[in-house]
Amino acid sequence: MAESDAAADRARTVGVSLPETVIEQIKGRIGGKRDFSRYVREAVEHRIRMENLEAYLADHERTHGPIPEEAVRAAEREMFGHAGTAQDAA
């Protein structure tokens, strides 16, 4: 990794306001303060990946048309073990 990449990827402390109920739910799932930061960081990184995926799929559909339903079902089976939706798996 280049030195500028390493500097850009260094962690910084930022303030984030969260509802008390969310804080308590996170604390119920983690071990300590560093774990809290890691939990929030991973959640944000996941959200960014999902938004990037949505943008990629929208661009793909603009270029190539809608994704065939059978391809969507095959992807759901691979990801979730059945032909449901992400909400079904939750």
| Spatial distance between the Cα atoms of 30 and 52, rounded to a whole number of angstroms | 27
| Predicted structure pTM score | 0.70
pLDDT in tens, 8-47: 788 899 999 999 999 999 999 998 777 999 999 999 999 9
> Quick one: what percent of the chain has pLDDT higher than 90?
72
Structure tokens at 56: 């990629």
DSSP-assigned states of every residue in 15-61: -----HHHHHHHHTT-SSHHHHHHHHHHHHHHHHHHHHHHHHHHHHH
pLDDT at 32: 76
Give the start-to-end residue ranges of the domains of the chain. 38-90
pLDDT of residue 89: 47
